[in-house]
Amino acid sequence: MSTNIPNPKILILGGFGRVGMAAAQYLLSLTDVTLTLASRHPKRLPIPLSTSESSQITALKLDIKNVEALQEACRQHDLVISCVGPSGLIGNTVAQTCKKVETPLIDAGGYDPLLSSLEADEFTQPTHVPLIINVGLLPGLSGLYPQHLINTLPSDHTITGIDIYYVGRDNWSYNSAWDIISSLGDFGKDHGFCYLENNQLKRQSFFKASKKVRFPAPIGTASTMLIYSEEIIRLARQNNISNVNVYGANIGPRAALICAIAKIFGLYRTEKGIARGARWLVKASQKDMQKLQPTYGIKVDVHDKSGDTTSSELLLSDTYQATGTIIGITAKAVINGRHNGPGVFMLHEAIKHSDFMTELAQSGVITYPATTFHQPSPQEASAS
CA distance 2 to 115: 24
What are the pLDDT digits (tens) for 326-345? 999 999 999 999 999 899 99
Those residues with Cβ within 8 angstroms of residue 174's Cβ, 6 or more apart along the chain or in another chain: 86, 278, 279, 282
pLDDT at 128 over 70: yes
Q: Residue 50 has what pLDDT?
A: 61
Candidates 3.40.630.40, 3.30.360.10, 3.40.50.300, 2.70.210.12; CATH matching 141-319: 3.30.360.10
Residue 301 CA to chain centroid, in angstroms?
Answer: 20
CA distance 68 to 86: 21
Q: Dihedrals φ, ψ of 345, to 5°?
A: -140, 150
CA angle 170, 354, 218 (to 5 degrees): 30
In CATH, the number for domain 9-135+320-351 is: 3.40.50.720
pLDDT at 45 over 90: no
Q: What is this structure's pTM?
A: 0.93
Q: Using the 8-state DSSP alphabet, how is residue 115 labeled?
A: H
What are the pLDDT digits (tens) for 268-312? 999 999 999 999 999 999 999 999 999 999 999 999 998 899 999
The Cβ of residue 105 has, within 10 Å, a number of other Cβ atoms equal to 28
Q: Give the domain ranges of the chain.
A: 9-135+320-351, 141-319
Q: Residue 197 has what pLDDT?
A: 96
